[in-house]
């Protein structure tokens, strides 16, 4: 009977995720690296060379800056840190403010920062909060890993359309342009054309570390400064949908506030 039930469960509809109650961490993921919660934080400057994207800067033994918009969440810096850095499992790395993803730690404590939201994002939220939005995705010289996760965001578990976010074939019918990849020379013009064709008011969304910072590559020319930055190489489907909900104003979220809260709770348990 147990085997029969397992077979039946395979064909049963999957249960949708509750994005209202979803937390910023995932126990099955490395997430972004953070200073260890142990006392006596001390990091050697040589660890900068381990980061493949240059997203890690050590100013002194007690001060380190992570650009989480350039972080691949590969875990290499953690492995080389002799226990001074840890994988956090914190995967909800997104913000409308690019500078918010650059976090400076002093003795393991993140510096305070007030995230800013542009007027364009505020206007976009007014229009899309109750109606949702449609977007055209542009694969801008990436390896299609982010596209695979975007595809998964529409399956029965993540169900992007239940959050009123839909993908369309033409930028003429879209409210936003989502691009993935570092925008190679041959994709600069197609991305610009997609953006110019999209009617306003509209939003430009950088999805994945390569789109945010270039990742391992030099990022190409963009039509404008993105309105939303989603870190991760690639970001998970639940992170992508949550970020879209945040952009619409349907999800209250501040990357810096959530990260500080997470680290404070973590230190209190250690």
Confidence of residue 13 (pLDDT cuts 50, 70, 90): very low
Describe the crossing of helices 237-248 and 145-152 by its angle, rounded to 10 degrees. Answer: 70
What is the pLDDT confidence band of residue 242, given thresholds at 50, 70 and 90?
very high
Mean pLDDT throughout 174-186? Answer: 97
pTM, entire model: 0.92
For the chain, the average pLDDT equals 93
Range of weakest confidence among 194-198, 211-215, 262-266: 262-266
pLDDT above 90 as % of the chain = 87
Report the SS3 class of residue 113.
coil
Q: Strand order in 109-110's β-sheet?
A: 56-60, 63-67, 102-106, 109-110
CA 209/CA 219 separation, integer angstroms: 10
Q: Kindly list the domain boundaries of the chain, sorted by start residue.
A: 33-113+254-268, 119-248
At residue 41, the pLDDT reads: 86
Q: Which CATH number fits domain 119-248: 3.40.1190.20, 3.40.50.12280, 1.10.10.10, 3.90.550.10?
A: 3.40.50.12280
Average pLDDT over residues 215-221: 96
User: What is the band of 1 on the pLDDT scale with cuts at 50, 70, 90?
Assistant: low
């Amino acid at each position: 009977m147990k085997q029969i039930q397992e077979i039946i469960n395979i064909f049963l509809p999957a249960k949708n995720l509750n994005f209202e109650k979803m937390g910023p961490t995932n126990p099955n993921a490395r997430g972004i690296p953070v200073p260890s919660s142990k006392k006596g934080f001390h990091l050697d400057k040589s660890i900068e060379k381990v980061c493949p994207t240059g997203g890690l800067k050590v100013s002194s033994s007690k001060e380190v800056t992570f650009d989480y918009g350039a972080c691949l969440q590969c875990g290499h810096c953690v492995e080389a840190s002799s226990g001074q850095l840890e994988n956090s499992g914190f995967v909800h790395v997104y913000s409308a403010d690019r500078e918010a993803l650059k976090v400076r730690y002093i003795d393991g404590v993140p510096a305070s920062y007030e995230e800013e939201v542009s007027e364009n994002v505020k206007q976009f939220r007014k229009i899309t909060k109750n109606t949702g939005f449609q977007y055209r995705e542009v694969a801008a010289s990436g390896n299609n890993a982010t596209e695979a996760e975007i595809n998964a965001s529409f399956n029965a578990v993540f169900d992007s359309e239940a959050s009123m976010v839909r993908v369309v074939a033409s930028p003429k019918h879209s409210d936003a342009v989502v691009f993935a990849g570092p925008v190679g020379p041959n994709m600069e013009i197609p991305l610009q054309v997609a953006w110019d064709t999209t009617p306003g008011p509209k939003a430009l969304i950088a999805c994945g570390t390569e789109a945010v910072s270039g990742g391992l590559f030099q990022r190409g020319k963009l039509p404008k400064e993105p309105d939303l930055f989603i870190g991760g190489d690639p970001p998970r489907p639940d992170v992508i949908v949550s970020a879209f909900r945040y952009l619409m104003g349907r999800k209250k979220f501040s990357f810096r506030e959530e990260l500080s809260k997470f680290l404070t709770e973590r230190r209190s348990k250690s």
